[in-house]
Every structure is written in C-alpha cells, then in structure tokens.
Amino acid sequence: MSSVNSTIELIQIQENRGETPGPTTCSSRLVSPPWTFDTQTPEYGPGASMEDFIPSDAPRQGQIPKEYRNASAEELDLRIRAAKHALGERVVILGHFYQRDEVVKYADFVGDSFQLARAATSRPAAEAIVFCGVHFMAETADMLSGPKQSVILPNLAAGCSMADMADIDSVSECWEQLEEVYGTAPDASGRVPVIPVTYMNSSAALKAFCGERGGIVCTSSNAAAVLKWAFERGQRVLFFPDQHLGRNTAKAMGISVDKMPMWDPRKQLGGNTSEALAEAQVILWHGFCSVHKRFSVEQIDAARAQYPGVRVIVHPECPMEVVDAADESGSTDYIAKAVAAAPAGTTFAIGTEINMVQRLASQYPQHTIFCLDPVICPCSTMYRIHPAYLAWVLESFERGEVLNRIAVPSAITVPARVALQRMLDVVPAPVARVGQ
Ligand code: 13P
Ligand code: SF4
C-alpha cells in the first residue's frame, strides 16, 4: 500500500483530471508542501485541525532555504542518508507513529509519545535528538535528556491543537477557583482535595504546574495506572487537556460520568455549580483532539455491516460513545501490538491517525486493516514535518549549526521533571521499536 502522502497526491491528480477519486481527503490543500503554510500568521495547516483556534504566540516556522524546497524526493533522500551517515552516533532521530512514511523511514526509534520519551534518554552520548513529532514531545525530550544534548524539532510549526487548548493562565485560574470551592486541607485519610493530572499532550509549563502541586503526567498507555496513583493521594482529579482520555479512562475504572463535570475555562467555575463540583471525582478540561473527534459510531456500524467479525480498535482520545461501541481501545502502542499479535487473516477497523493505520496495513499484509474514517485526514501538525525540513536541520547540524532547538527553561524543567518522574515511577516506559 502506498504512503498517505502519495495517496493524497493521487487523489489530487484524479480530481484535476475530472475523475471521481475513490477515497477523498478532508482538505485539497493537503497536497501542498508544508512550507506553503510557513507564514507570519500561525496556522495548524490543512486537515483535521483547521477549525481549531491557534494561539497567537504559537511557534512559527520561517521559510526554509529554496534548495530544500525545490529538491526532489530522490535528492532529499540521498542528502538525508548522507548527513545521517556522516553524523553517525552524534545524532539520534525519533519518529512518532503518526509521522509520514517519508520521514519515519529515517528514524532510529519509532514509537508512541511514552516510548519516545524513554528513547530520548537512551543515547546520552548523542549531541542532538532530532524529534520527528510535535512540539510537546520535543519539550519532553529536552527535559528528560542530558543538559548538553540539543533537541531539534525540524518544523517549529508542528504543534498540537489539543495541547494548545489548555494554557498555564487558564489552568492556574481554574486551580484558584477549585481551591476556593474545596479548600486546601487533606481529609482524615490524608488525601488532598484535588490532584492535577496532565496528559503528555500539554506544554512543559503545565507539566511543571503538576509537579509543583503534587500532580503527575500521564500518556494514553498509562492513564489508568496514573489515575489510580492520583486517587490514592487525592479526593478528586483535575484532568487536562483531553476530556475524552480522562472520561474514557475514569469510566473504565468504574467512575460514573455524572461525577465528571467539564471545566469550560471561559466560564466562572468552569460553567458548573458548586454543588456539582462538590460531587465531582474527575474534573475534565474542555479539550479534544480534532483527529480523533472525527470517529463516530456510524463508522463503526458501517464497518461491522461490511465486515462481519471485524475487530474495531480505537484510540482513547475518541469520544466516549465511540470507545463504548468499539471492541477495544488503547494507545498507539497498544494498537500496534494488538495487530502484531493477531492471527493471520484478522480484519481490523482502526480509529487513529491515518499514517499509522496505513503503515500497519502495509506491514501486515496477512490482515485486512483499514481506517474507520473513510476520508483521508492526517494530523495536520504531525504532517508539517517533511523530509525537506529533516534534510535542512541535519545538514545544518553537520556544519555546526543547531537549528530549531527546543530548550525548556530550567525553572520549568525542574518541577516538570518531578511530574514526569512520578509517572515513570508508576509505570516505566516500554522500549520504542528500533527503526530501519
Ligand atoms: P500516543 O501517546 O498514543 O503516542 O498518542 C499521542 C497523540 O498525540 C495521540 O493523538
Ligand atoms: Fe495533537 Fe491530535 Fe495531532 Fe495527537 S493527533 S498530535 S492529539 S492534534
């Protein structure tokens, strides 16, 4: 099966010829190279996140030199391989499962955000960690790696619209209001009123916020264990930014959805009454992933009708009714392992980012694997990383220039590491797959 990028190009060619393409994309702009969107006005780029509100101070990527923008795929391939070879152990390239195939093929480690956080610590001798993923992942890698190592994000505009939905000011304001409602004194068993839990998909400042307030970080692969940890220490949890991961995980632990009010940062008390907050067990931030929000129960019904016996697996960032209608839900690593372990001939309908689903389909031709969403809609920010940016940062590093460095100030790193370490003490990160 071809890569998502080549599928999108093919759809565009068919559309230009006036033919009706088989699959369609959510945006015809996806066919444009990512530097088309490297402008002074920040934007997430074409695709699922287009309607999300981007903060005005979101990192911007300036135009990369013409020699990279104009280079053919073959030239970029030769240049990346040559730079990687010349740099040897001086550089390690990490690739998230959602990266395009044209980038993942250069990664030394491929994995989910949890595994890549561990991979970032695994090569202390490397001078640079080139993170082919999104901004919060590069921040985490910087905080966990050695002080002399540089973390490089090939395209600074590769953010995460969900992570941007919770900012430090709004969360601090929420916290103050919760302290007014609940006070700060522990109960008879020593549990504090609220434990803050931030999803890995959040800024370093929010991880630091948690570290300073007895809180912790979680990822989609350890959220249940982390919530258990939090309830041993607190009467309730403030979970941000992803409402769906929070709701799905807490519900699976037996917590009633009635006890999970949503916090809308634009409203006083988040739009809740103090009575509702008094009953709350998990306060959910009003955040979501635009990629996973697209999956629906109708898509699951259609998959079941077309493929009786199909195994439906979705990521826990999907809405609750989608997770409930699926056979299983789990992190990207869970999905990859479930596919690898299945008997040959299994049919999978998968609810997660399309690059990962199409890659699994090519890696496991003995199965039938397809994405629940028939529309090709990659994560628009992951898609901002293209081989041209990788070639640019690698060749620059070879010449002694560190471009696009993500460096978290130590005043944030120190408390954020506390929250990250708590997570790693609860569940040690599994090892990422070694790339080709
Ligand atoms: P994982 O933690 O499963 O890698 O997911 C990260 C992410 O951004 C999902 O949308
Ligand atoms: Fe963020 Fe969703 Fe993209 Fe993951 S898939 S990086 S949560 S926008």
Q: Are residues 73 and 142 part of one domain?
A: yes
Domain boundary residue among 218, 252, 287?
A: 287
Residue 371 resides in a domain: yes
Decide: helix, strand or coil at residue 348: strand
Residue 428 resides in a domain: no
Binding site annotation covers 56? no
- Count the neighbouring beta carbons within 10 Å of the beta carbon of residue 203: 24
Q: Are residues 203 and 249 part of one domain?
A: yes
Binding site annotation covers 161? no
Alpha-carbon gap, residue 92 to 120, rounded angstroms: 8
State which residues form the domain around 307: 292-376
Q: Are residues 214 and 105 part of one domain?
A: no
**Token pair recorded at residue 406:** 């993500």
Per the CB < 8 A criterion, the answer to whether 106 and 393 are in contact is: no
Q: Identify the pLDDT of residue 1.
A: 67
- Classify residue 401 as left (phi > 0), alpha (psi -120 to 50) or beta: beta
Residue 268 resides in a domain: yes
**Burial of 138 from C-beta contacts in 10 A (0-12 / 13-18 / 19+):** buried
Q: Are residues 356 and 298 part of one domain?
A: yes
Q: Are residues 133 and 63 part of one domain?
A: yes
Query: Does the beta carbon of 290 lie inside 6 Å of ligand 1?
Result: no
Binding site annotation covers 200? yes
The distance between the two most distant Cα atoms of the chain, rounded to a whole number of Å, is 72
Question: C-alpha distances in angstroms, 240 versus 73, 167, 179, 216?
Answer: 39, 10, 17, 11
Q: Are residues 152 and 123 part of one domain?
A: yes
Q: Are residues 149 and 63 part of one domain?
A: yes
Q: Are residues 266 and 220 part of one domain?
A: yes
Query: Does the beta carbon of 332 lie inside 6 Å of ligand 1?
Result: yes
Residue 434 resides in a domain: no
User: Best mutation site among 26, 99, 132, 379 for ligand 2, i.e. most ligand atoms within 8 A of its Cβ?
Assistant: 379
Residues 6+ apart with CB under 8 A from 167: 55, 203
* CATH classification at residue 332: 3.40.50.10800
Residue 215 resides in a domain: yes
Q: Are residues 79 and 119 part of one domain?
A: yes
Please give the chain's pLDDT, 436 residues, in tens: 689 999 998 888 888 888 876 789 998 889 999 999 998 888 888 886 666 889 988 999 999 999 999 999 999 999 999 999 999 999 999 999 999 999 999 999 999 888 998 898 899 999 999 999 999 999 999 999 999 999 999 999 999 999 999 999 999 999 999 999 999 999 999 999 999 999 999 999 999 999 999 999 999 989 999 999 999 999 999 999 999 999 999 999 999 999 999 999 999 999 999 999 999 999 999 999 999 999 999 999 999 999 999 999 999 999 999 999 999 999 999 999 999 999 999 999 999 999 999 999 999 999 999 999 999 999 999 999 999 999 999 999 999 999 999 999 999 999 999 999 999 999 876 777 777 5
Alpha-carbon gap, residue 135 to 406, rounded angstroms: 8
Q: Identify the pLDDT of residue 18.
A: 86
Q: Are residues 170 and 158 part of one domain?
A: no
pTM: 0.95
Pairing of strands 150-152, 368-371: unpaired
Residue 23 resides in a domain: no
For residue 436, how far is its CA from the centre of ligand 2 (angstroms)? 24
Residue 425 resides in a domain: no
Q: Identify the pLDDT of residue 165.
A: 96
Residue 76 resides in a domain: yes
Instruction: Give me the number of domains the chain comprises.
Output: 3
**Token pair recorded at residue 153:** 């994000």
Q: Identify the pLDDT of residue 183.
A: 97
Q: Are residues 283 and 194 part of one domain?
A: yes
- Phi and psi at residue 267, to the nearest 5°: -120, 150
Per the CB < 8 A criterion, the answer to whether 244 and 318 are in contact is: yes
Q: Are residues 317 and 255 part of one domain?
A: no
Query: Does the beta carbon of 354 lie inside 6 Å of ligand 2?
Result: no
